[in-house]
Structure 1
Amino acid sequence: MPTIKRDTRGIIIAATIVSCWVGLLVYLLTDYTIDFTSPVAYLFMLVQMHLYTGLFITAHDAMHGVVAPGRPKLNRTIGTITAFLFAYNWYPRLLPRHHQHHKHVATEQDPDYHHGSFWPWYFSFLKQYITWWQLVLMAVTFNVLKYFFPTENVILFWMLPAVLATFQLFYFGTYLPHRGEHAPDNPHKSGTQRKNHLWAFLSCYFFGYHYEHHDKPYLPWWQLYKAKA
């Protein structure tokens, strides 16, 4: 693994994702009138979904120490904040589970793995990462937000994007790369998307290049495409 050097680019990128998520959410809750016949409303929902996914990917990169390399306290703080903004995920709980995934990938000891079809695997995945107190906090937040903002805006731009982002993360970052049997000489038991950097970014911040991530976990998401090239 390369020597860890301080690099502010990951901090700037993390701050940009958080700022975009907050700024767009504030606009969509306060100033945007939904027209359900217009595709713009659904486009905004998809953009917000993608930014939610970006929050989690940032927290994930923090688990590998690459958001603020050489600054462990700042790195952990950014990871804690971005995980918490994504449906109140708790970074200290996620951290050991993710490293367990890397250590025991696609085995019974892998918390992300489930030997089965899509839906049983998805619900198994959710059970590993969603806690009752997250559901309580989400319910409380929903009721507070709908007191101040239109309910349809809260549902379409705050609640649904978070739910859809779990599908995005699971489908492209867990299910597709780890499903099925892998060759005996595949040390990471992971597949990978075909090389298409635009689609790889839009689908899940390059984490469709999943073999490359397991092979070089020290690369942040925004440099992962280099491993594919």
Structure 2
Amino acid sequence: MSFRKKYTGVFIAALIVAGWFGLLTFSLQFPTVFTRPWPYILLLLQTHLYTGLFITAHDAMHGVAAPGNRKLNNFIGFVCALLFAFNWYPRLLPKHHQHHHFVATEKDPDYHGGNFWLWYFSFLKQYITWPQMLAMAVTFNLLKYFFPLENVVLYWMLPAIFATFQLFYFGTYQPHKGEHENKHKSTTLKRNHVWAFVSCYFFGYHYEHHDKPFLPWWKLYQEKDLLAKQKVVPKQL
């Protein structure tokens, strides 16, 4: 395996973590004036980076954050999951592989046959734990001791909540709702790489992910193009 192929994922993961930490550090000290657009722009950017943390942890679950280096790969997954609202990587890992093995069945921890909100709350129950909530509460109270309360809420707490919603909607609900004729029981976004990246790091190309789970998120658009050339077009949103 070439050096570039082996460490590109590590470099991208480092960029996301550095971007998340750098923007959070800046935002927590930023003078928040709600009549100006900047707080909302920072909120959206931080939400996108929070989503990137989880997508990176997800890549680590498939061994592609640092291919060929299992310890480094799992370390990246552990750190990114922990930074995303204190998620516990060893707990996420088996659940995600269970999702791939039993997609859209009763054994799939991500799947729920109910309406949107019932499915969303079922999804949250699968992944939110009491120790995680306690860690969030302690961290919240520590941060508000050093930074303005509105900044802590706007740039640390809300982005994590919005990113959870974003990951659920584009990465679980939209791809797997309804009936499917393909083997992955998944739909896919129409080909629009800009929107696919902005919405959820190409994770809306969900059929492509299930078909090639060994591809990192930043290569899913290439698989989308390849399947289009081969005229393999699953149901699109």
TM-score when scaled to structure 1? 0.96
Structure 1's consecutive aligned runs of 4 or more residues displaced over 4 angstroms after TM superposition are: 3-6
2:98 alignment partner in structure 1 = 100
Q: What is the rounded CA distance, in whole Å, between the counterparts of 1:8 and 1:137 in structure 2? A: 32
Q: Which moved more, 1:124-133 or 1:38-47?
A: 38-47
Which of these residues, 97, 105, 108, is aligned with residue 110 of structure 1? 108
* Stretches of structure 1 lacking an aligned partner (at least 5 in a row): none
Given residue 116 of structure 1, which amino acid in structure 2 is its aligned partner? Answer: G
Q: CA deviation at 1:39?
A: 1.6
The aligned runs of 1:127-206 (5 Å cut-off) are: 127-183=125-181, 186-206=182-202
2:224 alignment partner in structure 1 = 228
Q: Are the counterparts in 2 of residues 25 and 157 from structure 1 also a CA contact under 8 Å? A: yes
Given residue 190 of structure 1, which amino acid in structure 2 is its aligned partner? Answer: S
2:24 alignment partner in structure 1 = 25
Which of these residues, 85, 97, 101, is aligned with residue 87 of structure 1? 85
2:234 alignment partner in structure 1 = none
Task: Describe the SS at the equivalent of 2:28.
Answer: helix
* Stretches of structure 2 lacking an aligned partner (at least 5 in a row): 226-237
Q: What is the rounded CA distance, in whole Å, between the counterparts of 2:201 and 2:28 in structure 1? A: 26
Q: What is the rounded CA distance, in whole Å, between the counterparts of 2:210 and 2:76 in structure 1? A: 22
Q: Deviations over 1:150-172 (max 9, x none)?
A: 00000000000000000100000
Q: CA deviation at 1:180?
A: 0.4
Which of these residues, 41, 62, 75, is aligned with residue 43 of structure 1? 41
Which of these residues, 197, 203, 209, is aligned with residue 205 of structure 2? 209
Go from structure 1 to structure 2 and tell me whether the alpha carbon gap of 1:98 and 1:4 turns closer, same or farther (over 3 Å shift): farther
Q: Deviations over 1:60-106 (max 9, x none)?
A: 00000001000000000000000000000000000000000000000
Given residue 199 of structure 2, which amino acid in structure 1 is its aligned partner? Answer: S
Number of equivalenced pairs: 224
Question: What's the % identity of the aligned pairs?
Answer: 68
Task: Describe the SS at the equivalent of 2:6.
Answer: coil
Q: What is the rounded CA distance, in whole Å, between the counterparts of 1:218 and 1:225 in structure 2? A: 14
Q: CA deviation at 1:108?
A: 0.2
Q: Are the counterparts in 2 of residues 59 and 83 from structure 1 also a CA contact under 8 Å? A: yes
Q: What is the rounded CA distance, in whole Å, between the counterparts of 2:90 and 2:60 in structure 1? A: 11
